Amino acid sequence: DSKSGDVISDGSYVGIGSSHYIAGDNTANKGIRCFLTFDLSSLPAGANISSAYLNLTSSTLYGDPFGDLGNMVLEQVRYGTSLTAGDYNTPSVKYICQYVSKPTTTKNVTTAVKNEFSLGYNRFQVRLRFTSKTDNNGDFDRIVFSNPTLTITYTAGVTSATLQTNKSTYSLGETVYFTLKNIGTTDITSNDVNPWVIQKYISGVWQNCYVPAAAIIPWTIHPGQSKTWSWGQNSNAMIPIDDANYRVRVSIGSNTWTDNFKIESGPPLSITATASQSQYTVGDTVKIYVKANKNCSVEFYLQRPVGGELHLSTTLSSLTANVTYTISIPSSYASSDTGTYRFRAVATAGSETDEDEALYDVVAAETPPPTTTAAPTTTPPPTTTPPPTTTPAPTTPTPTTPAPTTPPAMGRFSVSKPQYKEGEAVEMYLESTGATPIQLPNAAPWTVYRIEGGLFEVYTPVAAEVITEVTGHMSWTWDQKNNLGERVSEGSYKIILRTLNAGEYSASFIVRGEAAPTTQPPTTQQTTTESPLASLLENPIVLIGGALVLLLLVLIIVIAIKK
């Protein structure tokens, strides 16, 4: 093809239009890479490709390229309708294989060709390069290919699909997603089993390392639609998951699709657990900060002073890498007794595990000393010498008045309705029902928690700057976003409100896709005290009666004066 050729590493030469293509180096110690293009435009639309084989066996060696330059890598590329000097380093689309010596058999590239054809490309392009650009010995070390061919077998069937992973390389423990897309004209249906397996390349053979359980409900992929699965890098075939080449294989009826990918290990799984403070008071809500360097699942254990054993507290099935999670543990469980508590987080990602623990102490609340009211001090009158005949009068004891007691602060806390739709503002109300106003702290007075096997902190508002007194009622709204500004999902939630003088209140609700009927917020009824005169003035019967009595009194007085 006129778009095939070879390119020298310094860009000094681009060879095209020949039937011989070179990979290796030259006497100037410059690397040479081979580029091959195969035309797919003659394939009919919707063609079902059953096989595609690349033949590179017609080749000649000069020097010792495999001994001096390493393995020869075959990879899929896309460099378009013309070959230029810049294509020497064009990015790879997909790694296909490596050769350790001159090719002697054809290479199966069916998956790569099918995927390229399904994506609408009318050419299939590959690059051949050695792992070392040159050995700097001033000699020719190269392989020359003569008339390479791509043989495609296809039928004009209507069942056609592509299978593709969302990445070509994954970190160890990272979830692998792969999608089967129906590009044919009829449905693709699976009735009773999950049609895919994960295979690992071991000693030249693809071996099953994970086979999913059977599907419970049959499914269908209609033309133009797709279905996505995921694999969490776990093995159920006694084959370890580590650095290697893998592939996903989907088989439905007589059709099979595969896609290759790599797993490369990064740093080992690591998790940290830290208490928000080293000491709490009995009755406090305990907060633990948890963070892992990889996506993982975590089990949380708590050892209380009474009992002395670690007990499973809750499980977080999906913890996102490098995100700090706040685990809030209710006081009834995490600070009900004094002593030292041990919180342990055990993380699992694939075959890796790690754990960390946080210790904190719970102490009794300090009891303030009783307050005493000093008796008022009076100044004694000046002393005088009494007359000798005067007997002092008996003294009368002065009664003492007890100090007035302050009535307790009391209140009610509620949300406007038990269920909200996603994204709907949550309204909450605090009503003061006692004679003493409720005092709110100068910190954030309330926190939203998600209920999922425990309480997980979702949102805490900005702290207030002053202590606030609530004499009637006070309201707030929450826009269903966490402190990162992300919309929360469906589930059960609880709001805990803290006061300085009336204890702690809570209200629970559910977030769903459907809206729930709204109930009116609680209202505080204020009583107005009126004067007796105002009550009389508002009653006309009383006014008329009063006027008649007044007139009668005047007549009596006049008659008395005349007499």
Q: Are residues 248 and 275 in the same domain?
A: no
User: Does residue 535 belong to any structural domain of this protein?
Assistant: no
User: Does residue 554 belong to any structural domain of this protein?
Assistant: no
Give me the pLDDT at residue 339, please.
87
pLDDT value at 336 more than 80: no
Give me the pLDDT at residue 541, please.
54
User: Does residue 445 belong to any structural domain of this protein?
Assistant: yes
Q: Are residues 215 and 309 in the same domain?
A: no
Q: Which of 47-61, 163-177, 442-456 has the lowest mean pLDDT?
A: 442-456
- Rounded CA-CA distance 351/291 in Å is 19
pLDDT band at 177 (very low <50, low <70, confident <90, very high): very high
Mean pLDDT (whole number) for 305-311: 70
- Residues of the chain with pLDDT > 90, as a percent, come to 45
Give me the pLDDT at residue 377, please.
53
Decide: 164 and 228 in contact? Cβ < 8 Å: no
Give me the pLDDT at residue 187, please.
80
Mean pLDDT (whole number) for 456-485: 82
Decide: 73 and 169 in contact? Cβ < 8 Å: no
User: Of the residues 236, 264, 292, which one is the last residue of a structural domain?
Assistant: 264
Mean pLDDT (whole number) for 499-505: 86
Long-range CB contacts (< 8 A, 24+ apart) of 243-246?
Answer: 243/172, 244/200, 244/201, 244/202, 245/200, 245/201, 246/198, 246/199, 246/200, 246/201, 246/209
Give bridge partners of residue 245 from the DSSP assignment.
262
Q: Is 474 left (phi over 0), alpha (psi -120 to 50) or beta?
A: beta
| Residue that wins the pLDDT comparison between 558 and 54 | 54
**How many domains, the chain?**
4
pLDDT value at 222 more than 80: yes
User: Does residue 524 belong to any structural domain of this protein?
Assistant: no
Q: Are residues 239 and 317 in the same domain?
A: no
Give me the pLDDT at residue 306, please.
61
Note down the domain range covering 177.
161-264
pLDDT value at 519 more than 70: no
pLDDT averaged over the chain? 83
Mean pLDDT (whole number) for 491-518: 81
Q: Are residues 260 and 280 in the same domain?
A: no
Give me the pLDDT at residue 546, please.
60
What does the DSSP assignment read for 461-513? Answer: PPPPSS-EEESSEEEEEE-SB-TTSPBP-SEEEEEEEE-SSS-EEEEEEEEES
Q: Are residues 220 and 256 in the same domain?
A: yes
- Rounded CA-CA distance 21/26 in Å is 14
pLDDT value at 145 more than 90: yes
CATH number at residue 337: 2.60.40.2950
- In eight-state DSSP terms, residue 426 is E
Q: Which of 7-11, 53-57, 361-365, 508-512 has the lowest mean pLDDT?
A: 361-365
User: Does residue 396 belong to any structural domain of this protein?
Assistant: no
Strands 219-221, 141-146: pairing is unpaired
Q: Which of 312-316, 327-331, 357-361, 503-507 has the lowest mean pLDDT?
A: 312-316
- Rounded CA-CA distance 245/96 in Å is 11
User: Of the residues 494, 512, 530, which one is the last residue of a structural domain?
Assistant: 512
Q: Write the pLDDT tens digit of every residue in 12-42.
A: 888 887 888 999 999 999 999 999 999 998 8
Q: Are residues 18 and 130 in the same domain?
A: yes
User: Of the residues 264, 295, 315, which one is the last residue of a structural domain?
Assistant: 264
pLDDT value at 544 more than 70: no
Q: Are residues 303 and 247 in the same domain?
A: no
pLDDT value at 48 more than 70: yes
What does the DSSP assignment read for 149-203? Answer: EEEEEEE--S--EEEEES-SEEETTPPEEEEEEE-SSS-EEE-SS--EEEEEEET
Q: Write the pLDDT tens digit of every residue in 229-244.
A: 999 999 988 899 999 9
Give me the pLDDT at residue 303, please.
84
Q: Are residues 313 and 241 in the same domain?
A: no
CATH number at residue 477: 2.60.40.1930
pLDDT band at 525 (very low <50, low <70, confident <90, very high): very low
CATH number at residue 51: 2.60.120
**The token pair that represents 72 in the structure block:** 């020869």
3-state per-residue secondary structure call for 240-298: CCCCEEEEEEEEECCEEEEEEEEEECCCCCCEEEEECCCEEECCCCEEEEEEECCCEEE
Q: Are residues 247 and 280 in the same domain?
A: no
Q: Are residues 11 and 89 in the same domain?
A: yes
Q: Write the pLDDT tens digit of every residue in 80-110.
A: 989 999 999 999 999 999 999 999 999 999 9
Q: Are residues 256 and 278 in the same domain?
A: no
pLDDT value at 227 more than 90: yes
Q: Are residues 142 and 192 in the same domain?
A: no
Q: Which of 220-234, 369-383, 413-427, 491-505 has the lowest mean pLDDT?
A: 369-383
User: Does residue 391 belong to any structural domain of this protein?
Assistant: no
pLDDT value at 542 more than 70: no
pLDDT value at 472 more than 90: no
pLDDT band at 410 (very low <50, low <70, confident <90, very high): confident
Q: Which of 100-114, 237-251, 288-302, 444-458 has the lowest mean pLDDT?
A: 444-458
- Nearest in space to 16 (alpha carbons), one of 7, 4, 26, 24: 4
pLDDT value at 462 more than 60: yes
User: Does residue 133 belong to any structural domain of this protein?
Assistant: yes
